[in-house]
Structures are given as structure tokens and as C-alpha cells.
Amino acid sequence: MRPSRWAARWPRLTWLVAGILVAWCAHASLDAVRFIRAERDAMRKAATVQIGKLAQDKMNESWVRKGSSTFSIYSYASTPDQSSQSGVWECEGPKVFDWHFHGDETVYILEGYVRVDFEGETLELGPGNVAFFPAGSQATWHVPQRVRKAYNITHPTRLQRIVRRLIRA
């Protein structure tokens, strides 16, 4: 009895599929090693002493209601994929502006005072106060003189954003 055409080709197909799987696993392993090294290097950077110098930056001009669009910022840590970052932010008043949160942001007021209008409530934040603003939200900041805050921003995954929209609906 003679084997069919497919039976004769089966060993070749098996080796081809096995080769593709081995190549894919090797590629995935190399990506994992690169990611781990990048994470390690980022953690080394975060664990070292740094001189934090605030740099001038500008917010979107259309957000400003009163005052200038300038502020100072120093980002001292971030993950390699930029999904999370931490830093210090400072603003000189008098100034009133809208701020649009592109990621979940937790702020800790270090110095000064700010009044924030957020979702129908007014938050008065001074030294030692903490506030959380979810991604996609907006707040109006009233800075009478000067405020300095430490911040941590994390960007929610696509699945987290979908679940949040479903919960709000």
C-alpha cells in the first residue's frame, strides 16, 4: 500500500511548524530580555541621586483663562514604555487655566495653595493635600500666587478605559 501525498509531506510540515514556533519563541525571548534590561536601567536611574532642575514649559494657550501659559516641570522617573512618570511641577500665579488629564494623575501639594474646580466641586489644596484626577477628565485650576506639586501619572490600558466608560454610562 502506497502512502498518500499528505502523509509523505507530513514530516516536512511538522518541521516547518516546529521551526516557526522556535523562531517565534526566540524572538519573544529576546524582546523580553531587552525589556528587562531597559526596566533595570530605568530603575538604576530612579535609584540614583539626581539634581532636579525645573525647566520652563508652556501649556496649550487655549487652556489659559487668566495669566501666562508658562509653568516649570521636572520629570525625574518614567517607565521605558512611558506608561508611568513622576515629577515635580510648579506654577506662578495669579493664573487661571483648564487642565486636561491624559493619564490618571495623583498630585501631592508641596508648597503654596491652589483651588481646583473639578466635576462640580471645588477642591482647596495646600501643603500635604493629595488629589486624584482620572484620565480623560478636566479641571479648572486657580493659582493665586504659587503652587508646587509632586505628581505621578499612569496611563490606563485600553481595557481599563473601556471598563470606565461602561461604568460611567
Sequence-ordered list of residues with C-beta below 8 angstroms from that of 117, at least 6 positions apart, any chain: 123, 139, 140, 142
pLDDT for 33: 73
How sure is the predictor about 78, in pLDDT bands with cuts at 50, 70 and 90?
confident
pLDDT at residue 1 tops 60: no
How sure is the predictor about 46, in pLDDT bands with cuts at 50, 70 and 90?
low
First to last CA, the chain: 67
Residue-wise pLDDT for 84-118, tens only, equals 899 999 999 899 999 999 899 999 999 999 999 99
How sure is the predictor about 121, in pLDDT bands with cuts at 50, 70 and 90?
very high
Map grid coordinates 514556533 to a residue.
21
Amino acid at 138: Q
Spatial distance between the Cα atoms of 62 and 97, rounded to a whole number of angstroms: 9
How sure is the predictor about 15, in pLDDT bands with cuts at 50, 70 and 90?
confident
Spatial distance between the Cα atoms of 91 and 99, rounded to a whole number of angstroms: 13
* C-alpha torsion sign, points 54, 148, 40, 38: negative
C-alpha cell at 66: 487668566
